[in-house]
Amino acid sequence: MFAPRTTPWPLVALFTAGYLAPYLLPTTVGRLDSDLPLSATQAGAVGSALLLSSAAAGFVLASRVERIGARTLARLGLALALLGYGGAALSTAIPAVVAGAIVGGFGSGTATTVAATLIAGQRDPHRASTAGLLTVSALAGAVYLTVPHLGPGHGLPLAAIALTALAVWPLTGRLPVGTPVAPARHDKARLPHARSGLLLAAAMVCWSLAQNSLWGVSGRIGLEQAHLGEATVGVVFAVALGAGLTGVLAAGALGARLGRAIPIGGGTVLIAVCIALSASATDLGSFAAGEIAWNTLYPVVLSYLIGLAASLDPRGRWAVLVGSASSLGTAAGPLTGSVLSAQAGFPEIGAPEQPVVEIPVETSAVPAQRAYDKAGSEVF
């Protein structure tokens, strides 16, 4: 397959194609709100439907990558992403946009499932996952810098995701076709470390919900509360994602030297502070500081979580299932954030007594990682 000490770039590209939609969530939801006859809550619901569809793909396909074949599933996912996001980008009919977002979300989830499964089987899954985070952060940053200068319209960020899927398609030829697994043998291969996996999955739902409830409305915070222009908000997001590259590089350099308890637990607490700062921002300085610090820390913690999930099962099933559980929290984020911001205002979303309080649950997953001597990458 891939040389053990080289970066598996086809997997990195597939990871990027699957993860780009969540990274572009603020501009996608914001433009649905401004370009189509949708309320902020309705636009958030569309974003949630997209991510929920992506999570469903992970739950459905987690144990089927080997039987169906990585190449086949990857191409199916990319095709669905191209057709779904592309169709939504070209249409102004709300039912078509919603349907396209759901189809595209399932495609993104399928691509992520294949990438997660194969990355978990790598000799160094942390290397592959950090490379994927670097690539998707850089691409999303470029989109945030470019889209505001291309004009209004909800279709631009959706088109960017669709074109990424198209660009990655040729690289799927290097993915394994898969070898059929005998049904009896396959069914007896139970998931190892069930308690740790379930605990990590439950924690990830809370972790993702807490963060994405604000991430999904970050664009609106910049526009409405901090009184910034779309181009300025785009620059802040691009710089923030660029800072995230630094965080990923730092995580890759540190590796397992600090264990996982400190990066995951300590990083999550610091993220909570950043969320509160961003939610209460009223000017460029506070908004940029919160977003940049937040996006610097987020991929660091995420890279360790991905590696933790990948190390639970070399066949990658926990990496996919935990990632899909995370996507459930992510999926509820845009709608939750939109509803809370409409009812209580942006600062209350980032207040410590709001969903962020569930962060300690995340740290409770840390002892499990030590018990099983996990090696890490990232939780999808």
Whether residue 129 is contained in a domain is answered as: yes
Whether residue 379 is contained in a domain is answered as: no
Whether residue 380 is contained in a domain is answered as: no
Mean pLDDT of 48-69: 85
> What domain range includes position 48?
9-180+192-371
Whether residue 346 is contained in a domain is answered as: yes
Torsion of CA 172, 19, 369, 213, to 10 degrees: -160
Between CA 219 and CA 231, with CA 225 as vertex, the angle to 5 degrees is 45
Q: What is the DSSP letter of 255?
A: T
Mean pLDDT of 10-15: 90
Is residue 165 pLDDT above 70, yes or no? yes
Q: Name the pLDDT band for 351 (thresholds 50, 70, 90).
A: low
The predicted pLDDT at position 277 comes to 87
Identify the three-state secondary structure at position 227: coil
Q: Name the pLDDT band for 6 (thresholds 50, 70, 90).
A: low
The predicted pLDDT at position 255 comes to 66
Greater confidence (115 vs 120) lies with 115
Q: What is the pLDDT of residues 14-24, one digit of tens each?
A: 999 998 998 88
Q: Residues near 300 by Cβ (< 8 Å), separated by ≥ 6?
A: 247, 248, 250, 251, 263, 267
Q: Name the pLDDT band for 343 (thresholds 50, 70, 90).
A: low
- Whole-number Å distance between alpha carbons of 113 and 123: 18
Q: Name the pLDDT band for 77 (thresholds 50, 70, 90).
A: very high
Whether residue 155 is contained in a domain is answered as: yes
The count of domains in the chain is 1
CA distances from 186 to 3, 56, 119, 181 (A): 27, 21, 20, 6
CB atoms within 10 A of CB 345: 12
Whether residue 174 is contained in a domain is answered as: yes
Tokens of 10: 């086809």
Whether residue 1 is contained in a domain is answered as: no
The predicted pLDDT at position 170 comes to 93
pTM metric for this prediction: 0.71
DSSP string covering 123-190, please? S-HHHHHHHHHHHHHHHHHHHHHHGGGS-S-THHHHHHHHHHHHHHGGGGGGS-------HHHHHH-P
- CATH number (domain holding residue 301): 1.20.1250.20
Whether residue 3 is contained in a domain is answered as: no
Share of the chain above pLDDT 70, in %: 81
